[in-house]
Structure 1
Amino acid sequence: MSPRLEDENPDRLYMVTGGRSDVTDDGLDMVTLIVSECDPTPGMQSEHARILRLCKNPTAVVEISSELRMPVSVVRILLCDLLDMGRITARTPRQAPARTRLPDPEMLKQVLVGLQNL
């Protein structure tokens, strides 16, 4: 059985990040997709290698965090390292055009009531 996130050793997280506690505006949010640009190399930090293997296909930051069982803030630091080395690329999901209208809230309420009545 793997350890739970809340059981993570804070000293280990400190070591993984090299003592860094946060990154400046890196543009990485929870749904940013990460894609590996290369395979892991010998001697690479194990967390970096795991990220590269995990991200052969586009993978969201939050999914990487879950898979590594580490806080998103720590994963973002690791991802910034890999971005700086050119080993990954980050893709921000496309935003809907500004003119796209959201569904009418009243209609959504009616749909919800209809589903609850099923």
Structure 2
Amino acid sequence: MSGAYAVLHDPEGLLDAELPLDRAPHEALVTAVLAWKDPDLAPCDYEQIALQLTGHARAVAADVRRLAAALPKSDGRGALAELILREADGRLAAPAQGHRVLRPDRARLVQALYTRLDRLPEPAPVSP
């Protein structure tokens, strides 16, 4: 059946937590967007880039949120993560269409989320 899709019920977000981020290509895209002066791309290319950055920012934010939630309340890294997550939520709530990708907001957001992610410890594995 062409164009069909299935909606998965994952209220605990376990699927997202188990899928590793495809970091390298997105970091290369962020670098390219931040280096742009006046690219001459088709409108659909700008839209695709905006969608890629938005989707990846949401995925990285989910990882930051998961790791920050595992920290003790007294750990300052969790508070810093909450700040960047509030900013991310605000930026991601606004639509990113077409030429708006030229403004490097989404690229900088992905960069900031990765910076925060890299500073959060992976939780210790839980034994069964």
TM-score category by the smaller chain? under 0.3
Structure with the greater alpha carbon radius of gyration: 1
How high is the TM-score relative to the length of structure 2? 0.25
- Greater RCO (Cα-Cα under 8 Å, separation 6 or more): 2
